Chain A
Amino acid sequence: MSPSKTVVRESMEKSLFGKSTKSKLVERLVFALFRLGTYFVLLCAATIFVDIVYKGGKTVFRSEFPFLNVEFLSDSPQTLHVFEYQGRKYEMSDSNFRSFRQGIDEPIVTETYAYSGGGIWPCIAGTLLLVAGAMIIAMTLGVLSAIFLSEYSRPGKILNAVRLSILNLAGVPSIVFGIFGMGMFVLAFGWNVSLIAGWFTLALMVLPIIISASEESMRAIPQGMRDASFALGATQWTTIRTNVLPYAMPGILTSSIIGVARVAGETAPIMFTAAYALRDQLPWEGLERWYDLFFQGVMALPYHIYVVSAKIPQNEYTSRMQYGTAFVFLFIVAAIALSSILLRIRMRKKYRW
């Protein structure tokens, strides 16, 4: 005999409504944990960001016209003089102080703080030059390798070895690249501490990221596109040029965004190969031959932060410099990344399948 309708209903009621409060509690707890984890990460990021923007903003911005600290963005780092003169308190960079003192006979007693006056323009210029050169080298080599790996190479032992070494290269700490760059480019090639030594060192460092991401985005293109192109009488190179590279470009640009952030941000690879703690001339000043540009060291933002944070006595004046530099640095990396993203969006619109 089949169970009566009431019995069936009761068993159903039990299973539908009788879920134990314990399992519900576990469910809630687990989700709370996940949420907490996510919020914690957000909090960390926000704290760093707000701290730098708040403190750095005080250095970079001014409350009166032109609202920007022009000296900070356009001058070289200098010694800061802090002094009282005729009852007023002054803070001046070395060059300003010298001209201020011209018309005054009596001696002025000043406290001096190294690196705390002037600005960071040479560091900005140096970082931009480093990023541009390293990315050009890394993208060229990276895209060439990615084309070979994705389109031409045949699977086999050699290819596995190549992939393994690329993977390993990605895991090498940046200081090792720095040491390698010094041994190879600075000493063995005799390039000395120079832009070009820094370019190659940084390029080698980001190469694995760019190769992997570029190869990935080429492989993501449907085989049908290539087949269609071949069937219309295209050679392999024509197919790659017209039907693989253009569609892979957004993916390649994405990898370049990560690359830019790393190239701009790493201190270790450039501290032995390209960066000066202080240099009077801007990179393009006083060149005898045009290619001397490549064979000179530059100042760079991350190295400058390191110098003003770790190499000189700390006080409230150096702290301003640190935060101001960090702020500008963040801003520049964000601006480069943003322009890559915009370019990518434009390309995605053009090529979508």
Chain B
Amino acid sequence: MDTPAVESHRGDRNPSLIRISDFDFSYGDKQALFDINMDIAEHEVTAFIGPSGCGKSTLLRCINRMNDLIESARIDRGKVEVNGLDIYDERVDATELRKRIGMVFQKSNPFPKSIYENVIYGLRIQGINRKSELDETVERCLKGAALWEEVKDRLDTSGLSLSGGQQQRLCIARAMAVGPDVLLMDEPCSALDPVATAKIEELIHELKNDYTIVIVTHNMQQAARVSDRTAFFYMGNLIEMNATDQIFMSPDKEQTEAYISGRFG
């Protein structure tokens, strides 16, 4: 097992899957991330918290190279490694990377297609069209996303006919269908009501067994409820990363303490 790059950690820890080291990142002239170092462990839920504009979503989108799509985005220094492989190596095919590192967005964004077609979109674009395989995937992923019971009788209705929470779970099922190892979630509950949020959180608990999960959240209670480890960001810097209990009970840094207790942010 690798030695952690930053911050002491207490207690047992799963082996590191994603390692970010000395990472500087800018949008045009504006530097968004400063010297980020962190390890994200396998089969754990890692939460990124911090006030708006602190860089937590930016870092998340660096892990599956979604920032490639933003023209002015630029890595100034450092590396992101997954399983020890540099994902920004020029030989890396970003589309293959994104199949392995799935993403769920803040605003649920099902395609205006049927529930069935939404789930298997990732397979269809790979040219997989065998009915039995598709059927199996749809059932497995919808069950995995705790949506099967609610939609199994209307798989051919539009994904947009679902409620907000169901749509978000559909997006999770869709991400699962391409068989990723990691799920990145960018504030997946920010547009949902408390009941739908609770369902997603419950789901995250279960998904932990099969996936490594990184979740960005504005909601500190949510971070406390779902995550094993929490990273606190402020103005593009990683202030503190530690076991979630530790962060919320007795943070090392004063800024972390101030944010968590609601004194700013």
A145-184: which residues lie under 8 A (CB-CB) from chain B? 154
Q: Which of B103, B125, B160 contacts A352 (CB 8 A)?
A: B160
Give the interface residue-count category, chain A.
Answer: 20 to 34
Q: Which of B109, B112, B126 contacts A247 (CB 8 A)?
A: B112
In the complex, what distance in Å separates the CA atom of A230 from the CA atom of B95?
7
A232 touches B122 (CB 8 A): yes
* Chain B residue nearest in CB terms to A224: B109
In the complex, what distance in Å separates the CA atom of A227 from the CA atom of B113?
16
A235 touches B111 (CB 8 A): no
Interface string of A292-327 (1 = CB under 8 A from B): 000000000000000000000000000000000000
Interface string of B88-130 (1 = CB under 8 A from A): 0000000110110011010101111100000001101110000
In the complex, what distance in Å separates the CA atom of A230 from the CA atom of B174?
12
A232 touches B125 (CB 8 A): yes
B158 partner residues in chain A, CB cutoff 8 A: 352
In the complex, what distance in Å separates the CA atom of A228 from the CA atom of B105?
8
How many residues of B are counted as interface, with CB atoms below 8 angstroms from the partner's CB atoms?
28
B260 partner residues in chain A, CB cutoff 8 A: none
A214-249: which residues lie under 8 A (CB-CB) from chain B? 222, 224-235, 238, 242-243, 247
- Distance in Å from the Cβ of B112 to the closest Cβ of chain A? 5
- Distance in Å from the Cβ of B87 to the closest Cβ of chain A? 14
Interface string of A125-136 (1 = CB under 8 A from B): 000000000000
* Chain A residue nearest in CB terms to B108: A224
* Chain B residue nearest in CB terms to A238: B125
Taking Cβ atoms with an 8 Å cutoff, the residues of A that contact B are 154, 222, 224-235, 238, 242-243, 247, 350-353
Taking Cβ atoms with an 8 Å cutoff, the residues of B that contact A are 64, 66, 69, 71, 95-96, 98-99, 102-103, 105, 107, 109-113, 121-122, 124-126, 158, 160, 171, 174-175, 178
Additional 20 contacts, C-beta under 8 A, given A231-B105, A233-B126, A352-B158: A222-B109, A224-B105, A224-B109, A225-B109, A227-B69, A228-B105, A228-B109, A228-B174, A229-B111, A231-B66, A231-B98, A231-B103, A232-B121, A233-B95, A233-B98, A233-B99, A234-B95, A235-B95, A352-B160, A353-B112
Question: Can you name 14 A-B residue pairings with CB atoms under 8 Å?
Answer: A226-B69, A227-B105, A228-B109, A228-B174, A229-B125, A230-B69, A230-B95, A230-B98, A231-B102, A232-B121, A233-B99, A233-B122, A234-B125, A351-B113
